[in-house]
Structure 1
Amino acid sequence: MTTLRPGHDAEQGASYEQGAYEAAGAFEAAVEQLADPLNDPLPGQPKPQAPGPGPGPAQIPGPAPGPTSPWFRSAMVEQPQPQPQAQAPHPQYEQAQYPQQQYEPYQQPVQQPQQALQQPQEWYARAEHPQGWYGGQRPVPAPEPAPVPTAVAAPVYDDETVALRTDDTRRIAGDGTGAEPDPVARPAPPAAATGGRAERRRAAKGQGSRGRAPAGGAPAKDTPAGSGGAPRSRVEARRAARAAKDSPGVVASRFFGEVFISLGVLMLLFVTYQLWWTNVRADLFAGNETDKIQDGWAKGRKPAGAFEPGQGFAIMHIPKLDVVVPIAEGIDKEKVLDNGMVGHYAEGKLKTAMPSDEQGNFAVAGHRNTHGEPFRYINRLKPGDPIVVETQDTYYTYEMASILPQTPPSNVGVIGPVPPGSGFTEPGRYITLTTCTPEFTSTYRMIVWGKMVDERPRGEGQPDALVG
């Protein structure tokens, strides 16, 4: 344990006791009065000065230095930083190493970039300046310049061995990367052939028409258009052409298919004509003929003798079937039946009586299907249903008696004076309707018989069958 040095310790103790703090406990009381005992100077001691050219914090009136004080902004923002001075080069080094004209640029003082001022924090900038950083706008970085595309030189093809290479190998041989050549860029001219005479001859031959592409960028003859693959040889091109052609079986099936389709369309048109258009045309003709007959009766024209074939002379009414059809002389298919009229059997062995005769069978024929089809539904007639024949002077009313659903066309006895199978046993005034059956065929004939029950002159008015 060392002892105190009397001289040194005595001098120090005397300085504290004889100075500003002579009384006991004065130092402790002074320290307690300080706001910051560690940083503030003691009373009676000089205060430290602030660094830099600006005034110290003790000389600035107002609040203590801080982020929001004017002194802080003056010291941190407004005061420029000192610029370092460039050192002059050594005279001996300048004379020994560099001439005067070369070293002149290095004699200028070096401009050091100014150090960026310390920016205040964001909360301080927004609190003091709401419009932006220090009253201005936030700095916007300059946009980066767009990259400038660089032109790529077109690859040079080696046409000397073009017959032994494909497109892929030519591209690889051209630029070494396998990239597709630019179709717009013009290819570079081939390099001049070097070497002997044989190499120059091969180079000149490779630059001929066989080595150049066709004009207009058209594909080669043996290369399929739009395939993008390697050019084909002649043998491969012939094989591809034969494979693309249809076989004889395919051609034949296609031909017969088109024929069947055409026939089907024609048959459909024919059926439409038969079932629809013939009825339209026959109804128009029959209606005009009915008007013509009634107009002649109104004018009082009477026929002189027998009626001519195809001439209309009467009108048949079947009220149950809502049928009103003209009756013409004869059973000619084109002149009478196909025009939608009913024909009277009046020729040769098939000649029958007229309604005005005292005895006989008035037999008529008509289409069951197509061409107006006036007898389409005569199979629906029942015994007692009226059938009225209107002539120029008289109404003849018949009642349906019987029906024969089917008989051969050769059975002409059904239109005789006393038809067998009709139920009539003696001569009388009868009517017979004949038509084809089954429907849409002409294999057999259907027969309907009737017996006259009333004869009334036209002057007495229509019969009850037409009035009701």
Structure 2
Amino acid sequence: MTALRPEREGLLHGGERYDAPADEETMALRIPEPPQGGDPISASAGTAAGPGSPAPLGGRAARRKAAKGRRGRVVATPAAESRPLHGDRPLSRVEARRQAKARKPGAAVVASRALGEVFITTGVLMLLFVGYQLWWTNVRAHAQAGSEANQLQKDWASGKRAAGTFSAGQGFALLHIPKLDVVVPIAEGVSNKKVLDKGMVGHYGEGALATPMPDAKTGNFGIAGHRNTHGEPFRYINRLQPGDAIVVETQDEYFVYKMASMLPVTSPSNTSVLDPIPPGSGFTAPGRYITLTTCTPEFTSKYRLIVWGKMVEERPRSKGKPDALVE
């Protein structure tokens, strides 16, 4: 093959010389001719895309082939996207319902949850009740007893309350137990509602259990009080020792007793502890005694705790407080 060929002589065209194009075999590079009969839009897009752009699609046949390929692909719909997948495909409605049903708790689980909620609610209510019994009843009873004690002393000072017979629930004296730092009103009767639950001490003054007042020449002055809750005035009477003072203050006098003996446990039906000469007290002859009764063990009412005392001094209020209240 000849590397170079002499240039062909051109032909005259309109009086001008026309040079024929050079032979293709003599050219190292050449500009491609524009496509014949192709898509002008694709051609222009290919031209505008510039270097590095993907090759434009061919003619109509190429576009039909590309469209056919797109129709073969699965297009996700909102319903399919909302359903869970099983492998690489979305679950059917039946499968989705089965899985949702399987995730629901069974009857046993629901029942155990309900039972647990009942236990929790019951526990909370019990705690609230215990708090009410151990705390709030004391707060309220202390307030009521304190108010009654103040009113009683005011009435004594003004002379409104004369000594004599008292109605149920009426306060008539103050009980002092110096060792236990107790000062509490004594009211007539042992009713829970009218007396004991108000934080006061009640006098056995009614019915078959009636006992004489402290000013009686002989007899056993019997009183009762709560050991726990509602002011709990007798909570620590089990700590009393023989010789400890127990003082009853009335409008006109102070009656001073000395603790003599204790019965730690006895039946609630043992009413003989209120007798004029109580069995087990150590007293052997009629005298002027005091009996304190309360529940035992603490926070129960199964048994009774009894404390006995013997009067050692009767002092008019006009002479001032006894030594037991001054020390």
Q: Does 1:462 align with 2:321?
A: yes
Match of 2:115 among 249, 256, 265: 256
| Among 264, 278, 283, the residue aligned to 1:419 | 278
TM-score by length of structure 2 reads 0.77
Question: Which amino acid counterpart does residue 335 of structure 1 have in structure 2?
Answer: K
Change (3 A) 1:159 1:241: farther
SS of the aligned residue for 1:97 comes to: coil
Q: Distance in 1 between matches of 2:312 and 2:228?
A: 30
Unaligned runs of 5+ in 2: 1-6, 11-16, 22-51, 55-65
Give % identity. 63
Q: Secondary structure at the match of 2:293?
A: strand
Q: 1:219 aligns with which of 55, 65, 79?
A: 79
The one-letter code matched in structure 2 to 1:429 is R
- Please identify runs of 4+ aligned residues in structure 1 that moved more than 6 A: 155-161, 226-229
User: Which structure is higher in strand share?
Assistant: 2
CA separation of 1:232 and 1:387: change in aligned 2, threshold 3 A: same
Q: 1:160 to 1:415 in 2, by over 3 A?
A: farther
What amino acid is aligned across from residue 329 of structure 1 in structure 2? E
Per-residue deviation, 1:241: 2.2
- Measured in 1, the distance between the counterparts of 2:67 and 2:86 equals 23
Q: Which protein shows a greater Rg?
A: 1
Displacement of 1:160 after TM fit?
8.7
SS at match of 1:367: coil
Matches within 5 A, 1:217-366: 218-220=78-80, 223-224=83-84, 230-303=89-162, 305-366=164-225
Whether the aligned pair in 2 keeps the contact of 1:222 and 1:234 (CA below 8 Å) is no
CA separation of 1:387 and 1:170: change in aligned 2, threshold 3 A:
same
Question: Is contact 2:168-2:187 (8 Å) kept?
Answer: yes
Q: CA offset at residue 460 of structure 1?
A: 0.3
Aligned to 2:18: 95
1:219 aligns to what SS in structure 2? helix
What residue in structure 2 maps to residue 170 of structure 1?
Answer: 74
Cα–Cα, structure 1 residues 384 and 231, in superposed 2: closer, same or farther, change >3 Å?
A: same
Instruction: Say if 1:463 and 1:229 are closer, same or farther in 2 by CA, change over 3 A.
Output: farther
- Pick one of 208, 227, 230 that aligns with 1:368: 227
Aligned length: 277
Aligned-partner Cα distance in 1 for 2:225–2:67 = 93
Q: SS at 2:167's partner residue?
A: coil
The 8 Å contact of residues 174 and 184 in structure 2, kept in 1 or not, is answered as: yes
Pick closer, same or farther for the CA change 1:394–1:157 going to 2, 3 Å.
farther
What do residues 169-200 of structure 1 show as CA deviations (whole Å, max 9, x unaligned)?
615xxxxxxxxx8xxxxxxxxxxxxxxxxxxx
Q: TM-score, normalising length from structure 1? A: 0.55
Over the residues paired in the alignment, what is the CA RMSD in angstroms? 3.0
- Within 1, Cα distance between the matches of 2:67 and 2:128? 68
Deviation of residue 311 (structure 1)?
A: 0.6
Give the aligned partner of residue 445 of structure 1: 304
Question: Structure 2 matches for 1:390-409, cutoff 5 A?
Answer: 390-409=249-268
Q: Unpaired segments of 5 or more residues in structure 1? A: 1-89, 99-147, 162-168, 172-180, 182-212
Distance 1:243 1:291, change over 3 A: same
Query: What does residue range 2-21 of structure 1 map to in structure 2 within 5 Å?
Result: none
Q: Is the 8 A contact 2:227 2:295 kept in 1?
A: yes
- Give distance in 1, aligned partners of 2:266 and 2:208: 19
Aligned residues of 1:222 and 1:232 also touching (Cα < 8 A): no
Q: Which residue identity does 1:96 align to in structure 2?
A: D
